[in-house]
Every structure is written in C-alpha cells, then in structure tokens.
A and B are shown apart, each in its own frame.
Chain A
C-alpha cells in the first residue's frame, strides 16, 4: 500500500519533473510533441475532474438542505441554477445536445444576461473595498505609512489630468516612482519568488517535500 501511495507517485513526480525540465531546453519537434501530449493529458484529467467537483458541490449543498443548516435557502438556488442551465444546454435551442452548439439560445441568454452581470456586480464591489482599504492604509501613523501616503498621493495625482494642471512635475515624479523604486521592489520580490519556485520544484522532484501527497513525511 505504501508502495502505491508513496513510492509510485514520487517516482512519477521525479521522472516527469526531470523530463519536463529538460524539455524546456530541447527545441526539437519530438520535444514539442511530448509537451503537446502531456498538455492534452492534463486537459483530459481536468475534464474528468469536473465530475468530482460537481459531485462535491451538489453533495455539500444537498447536505445543507437536508440538515436545514443556516442559509440553506441559498443551496436551493444552486440546484435551481444548475438544473435550468443543464436543461437549456441539453435543449440547445431546439436542436438538442447531439448537434453543434447553437447561438442565441436560452443557454447563451443565461450566460450573457445572468452570469456575466452577476460577476460584474461582484467585481464592482472592489471599488468600494479599495476605498476602505486605502483609508486604513494611508493613515499616517508611522514613518513608513507616511512615506506610503505621500507616494500614493503623488502617483494618484500623476495619473489624472488635474495633477498635470497643478504642476507639470507631478506626472513626471509619479512616473519616476513607478519606474524606479516601485519596479526595483517588484523585481526584488520576483527574484525571491523565482528562487523559491526553483527550490520548491527541486524538493518535489527529489521527493524531499512530500506534504502535497498528504501527511508530513
């Protein structure tokens, strides 16, 4: 059992890890074909995984309805939404699902006039959250937050026409802040991230980090 749960996955991780790392340095067609095959496998696995995800989702919400857990009414909407989407998807505008997908059907209508606006609504909340987060951050309680406040004010004014109206130097200073200190910090983070990613990859390839398999060792 330990062989199947530990040794085999670690062996697969090692072989595939080394193979795909080397693939990056080999431009030959065989190497490109290998990458394509692996990518296709990934897509096939992801396709089957959707069923696992759907089972998890429905099982969770069915349990919530069955046990009348607080907010169980929202779970009814999950089934309602999934059912009508499935029905209209199968109907395919009267041509049924065994034909090519038709345009302008109720299935499209649900996507364009329900899902997209609902998503946009959630996204629009971000504007208010940015304002409240900015208020908390920009309170000049320490030296660091004072520097942040000043830099933020300059950059904000530099990005709108009124900044240039007040002084032509404001946009230039804003650009300098973004192109020099901001970019330097960003690159510093990226270099650290890259090193961390390499170290994590090696730990996984050589089986040193195994917690992603479950358990610590």
Chain B
C-alpha cells in the first residue's frame, strides 16, 4: 500500500510538473514581446498640413509576424478604437525619411510612419488646431500589448519647405550671376562668344532655300507652351522668320499644339512686320497638322516628300518621332538643322541632320542669332555657372572618395 501510495504520489507530481512546464512554454510569446519605447508624434515638416508623423524605437521582438498598430482619437480620454495604420514590425524605419532624419547611422533603430487624419476621419474638415491622439500597440496572432504612452500632435501647413532651401540658394546664386552678366554685357557689348556651327549654318540654309525657290520648314517638337524647350523654339522661330522675311523666302511652320500654333503665328507675323514685309506674311503657312504623335509624323513626312523643302529646322522637344522626321528630311536632300534638349533623341539628330544644337545650345540660339548684348550676357553667365558646377563636382568626387558625403547630401533634392 505504501509502495502504491509512493507511486501515485510520484505520478501525480510528474503530471503536475509537466502541466506547469507546458503552461509556461505556451505562455512564452506574451511574456517575450518587448514593447518599444520613445513613442512620439509631431507635425510632419514641409507639408501642406495634412500629415502627422509618428516615431518609436525598434523592439528586439520585431519580426514579420509581429505587427504595430496605431490607434487614433480626437480625445485624449477617447476609446482609441479607430485604427490609423497597421505595419509589420520589421518595416518602416526612419531611413525611409531622409528628408526628416537625414542619413544618421541610428535611423534604422527607430520606426517612422506618416498618418493622414483627414483621410481616416473621411475628410472631415478638422481645422488647423485639431489635436489628434495616438496609441501604439504591438500585436501578434494571440497577444496584444498596448503602450500606456499617448502621443499627440496637430497637422499644420508650412510656409517654407526647409529642405528646398539648398535649391533656393542655388537658384538665387545663379540668378544673381545671370543678372550681373546681363548688366555687365550692357557696358561691355563686345563679348567673346564661341562659334556654334549649327547657328552659323542658319544663314547658309536660308540662302539656299531662297536660291532654290523652295520653302523652309520649321518643325516644332511635341511639347506645349508650358515647356521651356518650346518657348526657346518660338524665340528661335522669331529670329529665323525675320531673316526669311528679309530674304523673301517661303517659311512653313508645322505644329501639333493649337496654343503653340497661335503663338507661332503671332511671332512670325511680328517678325515680318518688323522686317517691313507685312504683305509677305501668310497665316496659312503656320498651321496645325495633327495633335497626335504619329499622325503628326505622317503629315510632316508627307509635306517633306511632296514639297521637298530646301531646309528643315527641327527645334524643340522630340520623342520617338525625331528619327522618322529627320530621316525622311534627309532622304529629300534638305539641309537639316536640329536643336533639342531631349538627350535620348540627340543621337538620332546627330546622325541624320547636318547640324545639331545640343542641349544648352538650344537656349543659347536666340541670343546667338540676335547678338543683343543683354541676351549674350546670359550665355557668359551660363558658362560661369558651368564652371562652378565643375568645381563642385570635382570637390564632391574627392570628398566622396574619402568617405565624406556631406557635399553629396548638400545638393540633394526632396
């Protein structure tokens, strides 16, 4: 009996111990979730006033099956039932927001998210002073730990994007240099200007068209008047039209944008007027051929093959149509001058045209053709600007080679 009692006691003891051990093991996840700290909310800087940023320290328990859930409420004593965001705990770090935290090494130790309260509250207009309260919870399939800390912030619009100050300073510097050289050019009009082959050839091309009695075709790119390339193109058109009016040649301008067409008509008309030849201006020679890319190509190609212009000018921003247009023009034997800042199309123009204005030369063309001192001043300013950029590039390369990346981030755009 005593032996049986002993056996029963041992079996019961083992059973109890096993049960306790199993309970401890199964409860382990909840006890091992280490909650994060330093939970903070603040107004997202440099925005229109719609976002609130939240940050907290990373936890050793962060894993793909552990989630962070942020609850939002308009009242600090609220129920915090509305879920603002849910993220995997091993994602969304401060490293994803260099515009706020820069490139510090410790950024990977903190989580960062942005909340848009107006979206969560179905675009209710909260007003600038509405304070929002946030609670952070760490959640797994069977465990949930909610931090006691309540973070609060209100979203406010900013009047200056502080991360664009670098851009602003560079713009002011370049603008000052440009304006200085414009004023300087007034006093010193005999400025040296390197020769641009494509622009020197304009007179030859127009002279050839005049002698042959064939038209000059000016082809605009595909962008509208909002593009700086098109504005530069219309400026060049004005200079070319003035010379054509002097030579009494025939100018045809094809467009694919009605606004560009209207501006071009006015530019050509004024140029003829200025040359004292208003009677020679024909508004039907500045026309819209098609507003879509490939119908435009087909129409312009047709004009080239039927009318065989003596000179073709392709000025502006071009896309895939560049080569088709230029190759068709080359097959008709025309002198071709292209000017574009679309670097993807430059090789095609260089291949098929007699002269190509590369990138910045497109913007220099108006000044070069007019020889107006004030306009020429901007060309000198551009050269000085390029000199500065070269110095900065060399300096940046040297510093980056030695692991100093400050200058790289100094010019970063956000």
Contacts and interface: CB of A to CB of B under 8 A. Distances in A.
Interface of A: 21, 24-32, 42, 45-46, 49-54, 56-57, 59-60, 63, 70-71, 74, 115, 118-120, 122-123, 125-126, 129-130, 132-134, 136-137, 186, 189-193, 195-204, 206, 208-209, 211-216
Q: Is the interface of B mostly helix, strand, loop or mixed?
A: helix
A50 B262 CA distance: 11
B333 interface: no
B49 to A, nearest CB: 6
Contacts, number: 212
Nearest to B382: A195
Interface string B225-261: 0101001101100110010000000000001011101
B324 A126 contact: yes
Interface string B269-295: 111011000000000100111011111
A214 B226 contact: no
Given A53-B291, A119-B295, A32 B358 contact: no
Interface residues of B, number: 87
Contacts of B351: 133-134, 136-137
B364 A196 contact: yes
A125 B360 contact: no
B360 A215 contact: no
Given A56-B287, A133-B352, A201-B228, A122 B270 contact: no
Contact of A208 (B171, B297, B374, B385): B374
Contacts of A191: 386, 389
A74 B50 CA distance: 55
Listed residue (A25, A60, A120, A206) with the most chain B CB atoms within 10 angstroms of its CB = A25
A217 B332 CA distance: 36
Nearest to A29: B48
Nearest to A138: B351
Given A129-B324, A216-B238, A27 B157 contact: yes
B386 A27 contact: no
Contact of B231 (A31, A133, A189, A200): A200
Closest A-B pairs by Cβ, 4 of them: A214-B270, A53-B258, A196-B363, A192-B360
Contact of B302 (A42, A71, A126, A206): A71
Given A129-B324, A196-B362, A213-B266, 12 more contacts: A28-B159, A63-B284, A118-B298, A122-B295, A192-B386, A195-B386, A196-B232, A199-B381, A206-B179, A211-B267, A214-B266, A215-B270
A193 B224 contact: no
Contacts of B379: 199
Nearest to A200: B363
B263 A52 contact: no
Contacts of B298: 118, 122
Contacts of A54: 258, 288
A71 to B, nearest CB: 5
A211 B346 contact: no
Contacts of A31: 48
A136 B294 CA distance: 25
A197 B366 contact: no
Contacts of B274: 215-216
Contacts of B47: 27
B262 A49 contact: yes
Nearest to B362: A196
Nearest to A63: B284
B262 A126 contact: no
Nearest to A31: B48
Nearest to B256: A53
A50 B232 contact: no
Nearest to B296: A122
A56 B46 contact: no
Contact of A118 (B49, B178, B273, B294): B294
A118 B414 CA distance: 42
A12 to B, nearest CB: 14
B24 interface: no
Contacts of A209: 235, 366, 375
Listed residue (A52, A70, A120, A122) with the most chain B CB atoms within 10 angstroms of its CB = A122
Contacts of B288: 53-54, 56-57, 60
Given A45-B259, A122-B297, A203 B378 contact: yes
Listed residue (A25, A123, A200, A213) with the most chain B CB atoms within 10 angstroms of its CB = A200
A71 B298 CA distance: 14
B320 interface: yes
Given A133-B323, A208-B182, A211-B239, A28 B158 contact: yes
A29 B327 CA distance: 49
Given A27-B48, A133-B327, A202 B266 contact: no
A111 to B, nearest CB: 11
A203 B270 CA distance: 20
Given A202-B179, A208-B182, A26 B224 contact: no
B160 interface: yes
Contact of A211 (B171, B327, B366): B366
